[in-house]
Amino acid sequence: MTEKKIRVLVAKPGLDGHDRGAKVVARALRDAGMEVIYTGLRQTPEMIAEAALQEDVDVVGLSILSGAHMALAPRIVELLQANGQDRVKVFIGGIVPDEDMPRLKEMGITGIYGPGASTEDIIKDIREAMK
């Protein structure tokens, strides 16, 4: 039996065009041996949940620098659950003010990362969450 690969969807929900962070993280995860499905910009929560389902990913990584995370993230978590993908771990990166973090964690977001976050930490945390 082949070794199980960690499959990660890296998506950019909403309308902002900041895609550097998403691409940096996608590449870092690839270099850590993961299979990363990159969806590109301007994804609706519905599109992200659908891609997560078809790709049967273990992790959904959202990159949001627009400030709309409190609207987008809960909706995506909700859709994943509605689709029966409640085991999928959700990670968020981008610009998330400290005061929003507790609520995001409460709704089941596994990890949150801001500017300058180390990709090594992200990789470590994803691996940890897969255990």
Partner 1 sequence: MEDLLTRSVLAGNRLALARLLTQVENDSPAGRAALEELFPHTGKAHLIGVTGAPGTGKSSLVNQLALHYRKTDQKKVAVIAVDPSSPFTGGAVLGDRVRMRDLSGNDGVFIRSMASRGSVGGLAQMTAAFTQIFDAAGYEIVIVETVGAGQSEVDVARLAQTTIVVEAPGLGDDIQAIKAGILEIADVLVINKADRPGVEHTERALRSMLALAHPAPRVYRHHGQAMTVITPKVDQGLWIPPIVKTVATDGTGIAEVADSIARHAGHLRVSGEWASRDRARLGSELEAALEQALTRRFFQNIQKEKYNEMVEKVVRRALSPHEAVKVLLNGNSKQETV
Residues near partner 1 (CB under 8 A) are 1-2, 4-5, 7, 26-27, 29-40, 43, 46-47, 50-51, 53-56, 83-85
Task: Supply angle C-alpha 30, 32, 38, rounded to 5.
Answer: 25
SS3 call for 51: helix
| DSSP code, position 58 | S
- C-beta of 42: minimal distance to partner 1 in Å? 8
Partner interacting with residue 34 (select from ligand B12, partner 1, none; CB below 5-8 Å by kind)? partner 1
Partner interacting with residue 95 (select from ligand B12, partner 1, none; CB below 5-8 Å by kind)? ligand B12
What whole-number distance in Å separates Cα of residue 81 and Cα of residue 43? 18
37, 10 contact by CB (below 8 A) = yes
- Residue 70 touches ligand B12, criterion: CB under 6 A: no
Residue 98 neighbours by CB distance under 10 Å: 8
Q: Which residue is nearest to ligand B12 (CB)?
A: 93
Interface with ligand B12 (CB under 6 A): 10, 16-22, 24-25, 61-63, 65-67, 91, 93-95, 113-117, 119, 122
